[in-house]
Amino acid sequence: MTGKAAFLRPLRMRLALILYQALLHLALPALVAVMLVRYRKGPRYPLRFADRFGFGPRAPAGAIWVLAASLGETRAVNPLVDRLLTRGNHVIMTHSSPAGLSESRRLFADAIARGQLTCGYIVADLFWAVEAFLRRNRPALGLVVESEIWPEILSRADRKGIPMVHVNGNITDRTVRRDAKWFGGARFLLFQAFQKILTKSEAHRERYLRIGVPADRVKAVGEMKFDQPVDPARSAHTARAGALRARWGEARRTFMIASSVRDEEDALFGLVATLLALPVRPRIVWAPRSPQRFDAVAAKAVSEGVRVARRSVALDADLTGDIPGDIDILIGDSIGEMSFYYQLADLVFVGATLSDHGGHNIIEPLAFGRPVVIGPSMFGITFPAVEAIAVGACESLPDAEALTKRVGVLFQNPQALADFTRASGRFCENYGGASARSLCELRPWLPAPTFSVRAAEQDDGGRF
């Protein structure tokens, strides 16, 4: 039930929320200054103050509000949002990062064009900004994706009787330990604000139970990333990647560095140097996690004296063009084209695992049948990393030295790489259906459809 929920009753929680708001308001000038600095660095950081303070794009009353912070969360919730759109609901999506907003616009371009989906930046967690957002949009249901927890959003939604559900819930052991140490468990009470928590595995469910969420509010439904639809862009990427691999030939295999973060770049450049010194000399495709690292990685590669091409220079917008076969490193300096890069690769390293960041998405490369290697840090991807490692579809190495040695062995042993590839190809066949199960669990709170497909067809001359 919403309205004066249990999580708001303890005095320590009410005092914590007051202190949180006071600190947030004191920090507001600094946060605005950071936004201005980022804006001056380039168009990837538009200001959009109206969004941040509750006065951004409006959705019709009764829409479903989806809070998908970054690129990963946006992709994860894509299958569920597709089902909500098909059902006839209006959806408003809000994001923390420019990459998340860009991906939302790409994935749901048709729904945006027909007025069924609205997207923008997430409202700042200031009580008056959240109040303005909720008054202007009046959502019927809120869905918080993965791990973003905003205290004021949850408490104000509860006061207004707006049910909130946590989907693809991703609480980790590390988060539980950190919150117990630094917040005395007070942050755990925020999870009581959710009418339901739909999480990825039984191990995740046990963590939610451990922090005090009632058992009847938590259900393991699986990982929605396994339900990613095959969109037209992916089909085009498959064709372009196949053509490029054919031109390159089989003389040199390809190693991909996917979603790397700054802290691990030095170690990865060491790995690259070792690989390029091998007799087989594999080619490297390097797609950093952050667009802000594109130039830095490219410049460092050039300074190392290797032959470098950048996707943005060598290929046109539709991926036509040519990349010379004698290049050593292709810098994947684009957003929304990871499926293209994965299909160029014979082996993939997934980043944020050599540094203590917990790992990025390993499902995408596995979905393409690419074997995956990672470093030791995987607290953010324990599911499905543990399962993938158990069946030989993924390998976790203890440090950069061990990773470098193992990758070198795989490229010099075609049979070992082939066996690894077969195991990865079988892995994703055993998973799927989380988005359908999530939709089923949402039924008690789903609003009636508010969008008429028939009306949209008529307004658009039948080109729906």
DSSP 3-state of 450 = coil
How many other CB atoms are found less than 10 A from the CB of residue 208? Answer: 24
How many other CB atoms are found less than 10 A from the CB of residue 302? Answer: 13
Residues that are catalytic: 73
Which regions of 353-446 does DSSP assign to beta strands (E)?
372-374, 394-396
Buried b (16+ CB within 10 A) or exposed e, 95-124: bbbbbbbbbbbebbeebbebebbbbbbbbb
CA nearest to 426, candidates 354, 362, 386, 366: 366
Beta bridge partners of residue 256, listed in sequence order: 285, 348
Cα–Cα distances in angstroms (integers) from residue 341 to residues 101, 104, 114, 364, 417, in the given order: 21, 20, 31, 11, 19
In Å, how far from its chain's centre is CA 401? 28
- Containing H/E element for 331? strand 329-331
Which two tokens mark 372? 């995956």
Cα–Cα distances in angstroms (integers) from residue 333 to residues 45, 150, 213, 227, 303, in the given order: 17, 32, 42, 26, 18
Compute, in degrees rounded to 10, the torsion defined by CA atoms 332, 333, 335, 340.
Answer: -20
d(CA 389, CA 166): 27
Which two tokens mark 77? 């919730």
256: left (phi over 0), alpha (psi -120 to 50) or beta: beta
Over the Cα atoms of the chain, what is R_g? Answer: 23
Q: What share of the chain is helix, strand, coil (3-state, %, to 5)?
A: 50, 15, 35
Backbone phi and psi for residue 365, each to the nearest 5 degrees, phi listed first: -65, -35
Which two tokens mark 132? 């303005």
d(CA 295, CA 129): 36
